[in-house]
């Protein structure tokens, strides 16, 4: 492609927006009229970062393959790169005359933010225009949340964009050339990402729409009733989170379809509860957009002083689902196998790690990021700190795993599925097998410590050390001043009170 005058070309840089519809950067590239290439970059430094897991990469790869399939008629494909973004754009810039790059804004971790700064400075130096568009309802460069809700609703109530693709604009000639680029994804990785993991949700637009349709056609009826039940929620929750996290669906597509359904049904409440949560999605991502230090530091600086005993054996037992507390272990084992548990169970895992095991939240945060197929930095770190109690402005909730098991898994259906070795016990003892007396143990041929681990801690009173510390810190002048800043910058105006603790 090198010669006296280089070919003009535009680029669409895909990030967490792996879909072909309601996609503004793609629409703008079409409108612009210049040939354009769509690219996706697997950056080695990001792949090696502790938040990245094979399951995420596989989902991304599946989503890209689905886009390719969808575009087969117009012979467009997303071109894959395995290199740092700056290397890729440098290469493009040498081979072509790049005019514009279209992408969505990324509310990512500091590492991706720094990468974007580097790329922006490169584009500027080369007179390349980088057009970044608003992702979902998340606003860039705002100082507080005044009028945020109104703007969010205005954006969501617009009809999703119907993308059209003209074959005439198809830059197959360029694509053929670009396909030969020097940053090919190693075949070992492609083989690894092509393998199916039967228990994980598959990526791609088609699967996303199937999940959305089955939710809106039948699964939503028990949405609020089952939302906290570890077994039933697997069906009654939408399970759209991975598709939203990697952008197989825009939040607006989900919002719009749900609103349409809500109009024609009698009982509006389940879908109202669901729509509220769609807003929570952006509410949390917005916090992170404004403060990505949530990933590594207590958002309320006073909680940097929180001391934890950080027992490595406890941490390992938590990570592998071997704490001897059935609901905790069942959740961790379900996550390892399937990449999903419901909100309450995620909160319980964080509470158990920090409040009961007395372990610093930072030691567990990447482990769950790895396991969640729907890992979305904007929700993950903000929620993790909220559940750990390091924001100083949210109600502290300490989850009791036995109480939760008895209330939300009364027939032990969930625990038995993930810890089959407990199945032979009577239902009322499954959540707390340590209560088995020697006679019962002999009768059921069950040995605690052999058939299933003995509990690594005693639940009663154990959370006191950490929780007392959190309360003490919460009362300090620093925590209160920090709290006020958090509230004024990151919270929506109507919701600004520091509340007392709750047992959950």
Ligand X SMILES: Cc1cc2nc3c(=O)[nH]c(=O)nc-3n(C[C@H](O)[C@H](O)[C@H](O)COP(=O)(O)OP(=O)(O)OC[C@H]3O[C@@H](n4cnc5c(N)ncnc54)[C@H](O)[C@@H]3O)c2cc1C
**Could you say which residues in the range 329-348 bind ligand X, by CB under 6 A?**
342-343, 346-347
Pairing of β 78-82 and β 8-14: unpaired
183, 221, 281, 405, 490 from 269: Cα distances, Å? 50, 9, 19, 26, 28
Helices (H), 291-311: none
Determine, following the binding rule CB under 6 A, whether residue 281 of this chain makes contact with ligand X: yes
Q: Which of 60, 228, 232, 238 binds ligand X (CB under 6 A)?
A: 238
Residues of 105-120 as b/e, b for ≥16 C-beta within 10 angstroms?
bbbbbebbeebbeebe
Binder of ligand X out of 156, 244, 357, 479 (CB under 6 A): 244
373 binds ligand X (CB under 6 A): no
Query: Which stretch in 19-27, 122-130, 380-388, 450-458 sits in contact with ligand X by CB under 6 A?
Result: 380-388
Contact 208, 249 (CB under 8 A): yes
| Minimum CB distance to ligand X smaller for 62 or for 383 | 383
Instruction: Compute the least distance from the CB of residue 324 to ligand X, in Å.
Output: 22
Nearer to ligand X, 189 or 275 (CB): 275
240 contacts ligand X (rule: CB under 6 A): yes
Q: Applying CB under 6 A, which part among 132-140, 260-268, 270-278, 403-411 lies near ligand X? A: 270-278
* Interface residue with ligand X, options 55, 82, 229, 239 (CB under 6 A): 239
Residue 499 and residue 386 in contact, taking contact as beta carbons nearer than 8 Å: no
Can you tell me which of 66, 101, 109, 278 binds ligand X, judged by CB under 6 A? Answer: 278
Taken in order 36, 204, 210, 149, the sign of the CA dihedral is negative
| Residue count, binding to ligand X (CB under 6 A) | 27
User: Which residues have CB under 8 Å from 229's CB, separation 6+?
Assistant: 342, 408, 409, 414
How many whole angstroms separate alpha carbon 109 and alpha carbon 119? 16
Which one among 27, 379, 419, 430 touches ligand X, defined by CB under 6 A? 379
The residue range among 123-131, 241-249, 314-322, 481-489 that interacts with ligand X, by the rule CB under 6 A, is: 241-249
Does 374 help bind ligand X (rule: CB under 6 A)?
yes
- Give CA torsion, residues 10, 13, 18, 24, to 10 deg: -60
Q: Does residue 280 bind ligand X (CB under 6 A)?
A: yes
Q: Is 414 in the site for ligand X (CB under 6 A)?
A: no
397 binds ligand X (CB under 6 A): no
Element (H, E) at 503: strand 502-503
Handedness of CA 422, 425, 430, 436 (dihedral sign): negative
Report in angstroms how near the CB of residue 278 gets to ligand X at its nearest.
5
Q: Give the tokens for residue 192.
A: 């690894």
55 near ligand X, rule: CB under 6 A = no
For residue 281, the minimal CB distance to ligand X (Å) is: 4
56 SS3 class: helix
Q: Minimum CB separation from ligand X for residue 121, in Å?
A: 30
**Does 361 engage in binding with ligand X (CB under 6 A)?**
no
Buried b / exposed e across 8-27, counting CB within 10 Å, b at 16+?
ebbbbbbbbbbbbbbbbbbb
Q: Encoding tokens for residue 437?
A: 């007396």
Question: Which residues of this chain interact with ligand X, rule CB under 6 A?
Answer: 237-241, 244-245, 274, 277-278, 280-281, 284, 342-343, 346-347, 350, 372, 374-376, 379-380, 383-384, 387
């Amino acid at each position: 492609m090198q010669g006296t005058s280089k070919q003009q070309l535009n680029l669409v840089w895909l990030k967490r927006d792996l879909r072909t519809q309601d996609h503004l950067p793609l629409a703008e590239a079409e409108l612009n009229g210049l040939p354009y290439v769509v690219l996706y970059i697997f950056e080695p430094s990001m792949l090696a970062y502790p938040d990245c897991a094979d399951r995420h990469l596989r989902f991304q790869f599946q989503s890209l393959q689905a886009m390719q399939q969808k575009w087969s008629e117009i012979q467009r494909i997303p071109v894959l790169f395995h290199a740092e973004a700056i290397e890729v754009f440098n290469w493009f810039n040498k081979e072509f005359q790049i005019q514009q790059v279209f992408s969505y804004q990324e509310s990512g971790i500091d590492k991706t933010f720094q990468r974007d700064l580097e790329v922006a400075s490169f584009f500027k130096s080369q007179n390349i225009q980088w057009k970044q568009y608003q992702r979902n309802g998340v606003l860039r460069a705002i100082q507080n949340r005044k009028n945020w809700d109104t703007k969010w609703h205005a954006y969501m109530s617009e009809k999703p964009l119907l993308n059209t693709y003209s074959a005439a604009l198809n830059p197959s000639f360029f694509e053929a050339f670009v396909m030969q680029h020097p940053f090919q994804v190693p075949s070992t990785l492609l083989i690894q990402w092509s393998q199916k993991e039967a228990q994980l949700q598959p990526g791609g637009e088609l699967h996303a729409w199937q999940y959305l349709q089955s939710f809106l056609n039948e699964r939503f009826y028990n949405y609020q009733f089952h939302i906290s039940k570890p077994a039933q929620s697997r069906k009654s929750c939408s399970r759209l989170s991975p598709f939203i996290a990697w952008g197989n669906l825009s939040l607006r597509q989900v919002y719009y379809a749900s609103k349409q359904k809500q109009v024609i049904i009698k009982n509006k409440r389940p879908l109202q509860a669901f729509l509220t949560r769609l807003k929570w999605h952006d509410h949390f991502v917005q916090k992170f957009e404004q403060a990505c230090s949530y990933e590594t530091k207590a958002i309320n600086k006073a909680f940097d002083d929180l001391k934890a005993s950080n027992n490595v054996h406890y941490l390992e037992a938590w990570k592998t689902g071997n704490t001897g507390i059935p609901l905790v272990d069942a959740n961790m084992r379900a996550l390892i196998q399937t990449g999903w548990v419901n909100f309450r169970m995620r909160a319980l895992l964080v509470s158990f790690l920090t409040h009961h095991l007395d372990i610093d939240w930072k030691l567990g945060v990447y482990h769950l990021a790895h396991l969640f197929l729907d890992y979305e930095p904007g929700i993950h770190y903000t929620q993790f700190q909220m559940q750990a109690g390091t924001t100083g402005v949210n109600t502290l909730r300490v989850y009791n795993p036995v109480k939760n098991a008895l209330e939300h898994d009364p027939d032990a259906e969930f625990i038995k599925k993930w810890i089959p070795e407990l199945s032979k016990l009577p239902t009322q003892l499954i959540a707390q097998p340590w209560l088995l007396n020697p006679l019962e143990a002999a009768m059921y041929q069950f040995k605690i410590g052999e058939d299933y681990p003995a509990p690594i801690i005693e639940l009663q009173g154990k959370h006191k050390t950490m929780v007392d510390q959190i309360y003490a810190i919460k009362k300090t002048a620093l925590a209160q001043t920090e709290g006020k800043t958090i509230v004024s910058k990151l919270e929506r105006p109507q919701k600004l009170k520091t509340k007392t603790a709750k047992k959950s």
